[in-house]
Amino acid sequence: MRRPNYLEQIKEQIDRAKPGTVFIPSDFFNITEMTNVNVCLNRLIKSGTLTRVMRGMYAKLRYSVTLEQNIPPRSEDIAKAIARNYGWTVVPSGDRALNMLGLSTQEPATLSYVSDGPYKTYKAEGVTMHFLHTDNKNEIIDISERTALVIQAIKALGKDNITERDIKKLSKQFSCDEKRKIEQESRRATAWVHRYIKKICVEDLHAACC
């Protein structure tokens, strides 16, 4: 009987992924056990199919036509791979959340994420990522990534610093269906945060969506 070609199967799975995708060994446990996976991943690094991002983390090469060279994976994808590796739920917070929702043009040098895991700091591809533990699981678990991001952006702005301009800017980003979902999913968030979400998502529903 012909032995399974694990290297070929793992490479096929990588080939189907988008350039810049970040992998961890357990992504391939559907194919074979850890020992075989690690051997195959090391071979794929040597062949140039993958690059090592950090210990136990690998990325499919991503080529920039503008720069005419391979570029690192997105920090967001690295953070999600770290979370997947440890079984955490993570959401961008602070300046990163504001930047992602267009409330700030500043690109933070250090990226922050709230998490149901422990406090941890990682460095990868020249970027520092802080994972900050939260006890308020209602703001990150069992809700959509979009809702969780809005909650974190509002908290980053601060209870007494949110302006009508901020509210209008956020409101314009979501469809009527998205607003209904965000308002519903955020009902167990901190009370003052939900009050602002109601302003963003509910108060203009009759005017814009009905």
Positive or negative, the CA dihedral 47, 53, 56, 60 is negative
Asked if 154 and 162 count as a contact pair (C-beta separation under 8 A), the reply is yes
Residue 2, number of CB atoms within 10 A of its CB: 4
The whole-model pTM stands at 0.86
Checking if the pLDDT of 90 tops 90, the result is yes
Residue scoring higher pLDDT (162 or 107): 162
pLDDT in tens, 111-169: 999 999 999 999 998 889 999 999 999 999 999 999 999 999 999 999 999 999 999 99
Residue 176, number of CB atoms within 10 A of its CB: 13
Asked if 66 and 85 count as a contact pair (C-beta separation under 8 A), the reply is no
**What pLDDT sits at residue 65?**
85
The stretch 177-205 carries a mean pLDDT of: 90
Q: Which helix (H) or strand (E) holds 11?
A: helix 6-16
The stretch 3-30 carries a mean pLDDT of: 94
**What pLDDT sits at residue 63?**
83
